[in-house]
Amino acid sequence: MAAPWDGPVADEVADRRVRSSEVVFHGKVWDVRRDEVDLGDGQTVVRDVLQHPGAVGVLALDDDERVLLVRQYRHPTGRMLWEAPAGLLDVEGERPLAAAQRELVEEAGYRAQRWHVLVDYYNSPGGTTEAFRCYLARGLEAVAEDERHEGEGEERDMPAAWVPLDEAVDLVLAGALHNPTTVSGVLAAAAARSRGWSGLRPADAPWPERFPEG
């Protein structure tokens, strides 16, 4: 049985010494490293870690409180998933808000006037360094036709759907939507709306999990 905790409930940096680390796989997008970690209680464990550049997503909400989702093939799952626009932080020097704004234009063909941080999370903290930030974008306007982006690979010919936020919540809870950005973004947006959109962080809020230097 776990011992009771009497401190604050908030994630924090842990001081665990890495005794050794080596890259055991070099991939096209990310690498895998093998760490030997001293847990500080007499135990040492070996863990394989997928090194990930981090990513951002956009829960875009129109004036009728409809969520913009795009349909994309995801090969590891063998499924077509409905997703909020999202992308890797793989452009040198690009800040996360700029990346999210770029992805909204490229994947959906929209710009937004109002941006807030909606939710931050680690996508799979047991196996990867991927830190993810999902923004809430409102005040949407379509970009001009000549500004449209021609996607490649799985990003070609992605259909889009506008789903009322309440319906999107029902779809998430029914198990019809599985993309983590969609699931967390939809539920976080519904929770934020129930509070009158108060408490949302500004779009440039610190993100120490991905940018510890600020």
Instruction: Walk across the sheet containing 160-164 and list its strands.
Output: 79-83, 66-74, 160-164
**Any domain includes 213:** no
The amino acid at residue 169 is V
Q: How far apart are CA 204 and CA 100, in angstroms?
A: 12
Residue 67 domain boundaries: 55-202
Q: Which of 36, 65, 106, 155 is catalytic?
A: 155
pLDDT value for 155: 65
Copy the structure tokens of residue 182: 């969609």
Q: What is the pLDDT of residue 10?
A: 95
Q: Are residues 38 and 89 in the same domain?
A: no
Query: Do residue 118 and residue 36 come from a single domain?
Result: no
pLDDT for the residue numbered 152:
62
**Is 65 a residue of the active site?**
no
CATH of the domain at 66: 3.90.79.10
Number of domains in the chain: 2
pLDDT tens-place values along the chain, 214 residues long: 788 999 999 999 998 999 999 999 999 989 999 999 999 888 999 999 999 999 999 999 999 999 999 999 999 999 999 999 999 999 999 999 999 999 999 999 999 999 999 999 999 999 999 999 999 999 999 998 777 766 665 666 789 999 999 999 999 999 999 999 999 999 999 999 999 999 999 999 999 999 998 7
Residue 1 lies in a domain: no
Residue at 34 is within a domain: yes
pTM of the model: 0.94
**Do 47 and 59 reside in the same domain of the chain?**
no
104 & 33 share domain:
no
How much of the chain is in helix, strand and coil states, percent to nearest 5?
Answer: 20, 40, 40
CA 185 to CA 136: how far, in whole Å? 8
